Amino acid sequence: MNGEIVINNLAGLLIVTSLMVIGVNKPRVVAMLYSLQSFVLVLTFVAIANTVDAPQLYHWSITAFITKVIALPALLYYAFSKMYDADANKPVIHFAWLVIIGGVITLLSFLAVESVQLPLVAHLKPALAVSLGHFFLGLLCIVSQRNILKQLFGYCLMENGSSLTLALLANKAPGLVEIGVTIDAVFAVIFMIILVRQIYTKLHTLDAQQLTTLKG
C-alpha cells in the first residue's frame, strides 16, 4: 500500500509540473521544467516497478532518464537558443485560466476512471487519471501557445501521459516495446524541430497566429 501511495503522489506532481510547463513563458525555462517532469515520471516508473515487481520498468527508467530527462530537454533548450521570437512567447490564454482549465481536466479525468474495474490499478486510479489527463493537458498546451516551438511540449506531455498509461496497464510488456515507445518520441521531436527550423528560416517567425495570417 505504501508503494501505491508513492505512485499516486508522484502522479500528482506530474500534474503540477505540466501546468508549469504550459504556463511559463520563458522557453528555455520550460525546457528545464520538462526535464523536471520527466525526472518525476522516471521516479514513478521505478516506484511502479518496485510495487508490482516489474523489472522491465527498471530498464525503461534508464532509457527514459537518458532520453526524457537529458536528451530531449537539451535538444529543445538548444533549439530555443537558436530560434527566438518575442511576440510568439505571448500566451493565448492567461495563466489563471490555464490553472482553472487544467483543474477541470484533472477532475473530469478522475471521474472518467472512477468506473474502471481493473485489479491491476484498483489502488492506482489517481495515477491512471493523471495519465489520461496528460493527453488533454498536452492538447491544452498546443492550443494555448503561439510559439510553435513551445507547442512541441504539448506533444511531449501527451507522450508522457501515454508512457504512464503503459507503465500502469502493461508493465509486464517486453522491455523492447517500452524502450521503443521512448525512442519513437525522440525521433518525432527531432523531426518536428527540423520542420520548425525550416519555418523560422524562411518566414522569420515562430508565431502560429502569423502563420495563419500568411495562409489567408
pLDDT in tens, 14-53: 999 998 888 888 878 888 999 999 999 999 999 988 888 8
| pTM as predicted | 0.88
> If you write DSSP's letter for every residue of 120-170 in order, what string do you get?
GGTT-HHHHHHHHHHHHHHHHHHHH-SBTTTTHHHHHHHHHHHHHHHHHH-
Whether residue 34 contacts residue 76, with contact meaning beta carbons closer than 8 Å, is answered with: yes
Q: Residue 178 has what pLDDT?
A: 66
What's the chain's average pLDDT?
84
- 205 Rama class: left (phi>0) / alpha (psi -120 to 50) / beta: beta
pLDDT in tens, 93-120: 888 888 899 889 989 988 888 877 777 6
Please say if the pLDDT value at position 212 is more than 80: no
Cα dihedral value 181, 184, 190, 194, nearest 10: -140
pLDDT in tens, 129-155: 888 898 899 999 888 888 888 888 889
Which of 84, 67, 72, 68 lies closest to 27 in space, CA to CA?
Answer: 84
